[in-house]
Chains A and B, each alone.
Chain A
Amino acid sequence: MAKKTYDLLFKLLLIGDSGVGKTCVLFRFSDDAFTTTFISTIGIDFKIKTVELRGKKIKLQIWDTAGQERFHTITTSYYRGAMGIMLVYDITTEKSFENIVKWLRNIDEHANEDVEKMILGNKCDMEDKRVVSKERGEAIAREHGVRFMETSAKANINIDKAFSELAEAILEKTSGVSVEPVDRVTVDRRTDRQTIKCC
């Protein structure tokens, strides 16, 4: 075995109704000349990303569903080994928001009980089509004691930040230490500013 080049490995999952943007959160599908139709057709299974949190080098392995959520067949095997779950809804679709509660129940049933969850209200670039207010998103997150953020996979708003925050929450849990909410990770400043404007 080669020497381990990281301190911790966190396996993260994306979950939520079909169409809310889970695949886009993970896979940009940039439609420029560089993205081959080939790769877009095959699709992506997972990504490995390295982040530095509190001096620790952490590998994030982020998985997308293979579309099982459409048939409500997300079961124990998908959740196996998951330490963090991004629960995604679409701010322009009421139903996807209402189903957050169902997904939370599904997670309770099938996932490891101490899995760290975070709710994402995605597509926040579509302010004109919004039907779920940010306040409602925050309220449901508070009610279930999980973190919340509005994101846009399309405009690349809060995506990296969301994963860093989820990783931070898992780290906090594993080490049992609470940290200051500032200066968590090297977050893209530009994304930060957009946050305030858009979401």
Chain B
Amino acid sequence: MSADEALIAEGKNKFTVYCSRCPSKILNSGMGVYTDMTYNLPYMHHKADGDSTNVEDVKGYWQVSDIYTFENLGFSNTVENMKYLICADCEIGPIGWHDLSTKQSYVALSRVKHS
């Protein structure tokens, strides 16, 4: 995706990463490494009674190897060796996922705000 290019500087996030809905700061600039992997994530925007099993392919993530690098972030309970990532303040999500076996976290570029 070419839109992502503008957000990358030397392979890392050029800008600070914020929640797309609230002012919560997720990641400081230069702390995530860009990876163009594709992963299946459930949709973020659901009505409370919506079908929660719907997933979509999401491409492009900021990869972070130490969870304490994040400024503010919520981690769901474990689902098949992974945890979903949500905003620590308004809990919108999933904005990415955390792999329990590799300890890597992935924040989807398309599900956060950069500024």
Contact = CB atoms under 8 A, between A and B. Distances in A.
Contacts of A28: 90-91
Contacts of A45: 75-78, 83
Contacts of B77: 42-45, 66
Interface string B21-33: 1000100100100
Contact of A39 (B47, B73, B91): B91
Interface in B17-76: 21, 25, 28, 31, 42-50, 52-53, 65-76
B7 interface: no
Contacts of B42: 36, 38
23 contacts: A1-B66, A2-B65, A2-B69, A5-B28, A5-B31, A9-B68, A36-B50, A36-B93, A37-B48, A37-B52, A38-B42, A39-B93, A39-B94, A41-B52, A44-B74, A44-B91, A46-B75, A47-B74, A47-B75, A48-B74, A49-B88, A50-B71, A66-B77
> Which of B46, B50, B78 has the largest number of chain A CB atoms within 10 A?
B46
Contacts, number: 98
Given A5-B28, A5-B69, A34 B76 contact: no
B68 A48 contact: yes
Contacts of B106: none
B43 A36 contact: yes
A90 to B, nearest CB: 22
Interface in A63-113: 66
A27 B46 contact: no
B92 interface: yes
- Among B49, B50, B72, B76, find the residue whose CB has the most chain A CB atoms closer than 10 A: B76
Given A6-B68, A34-B44, A34-B45, A48 B73 contact: yes
B46 A50 contact: no
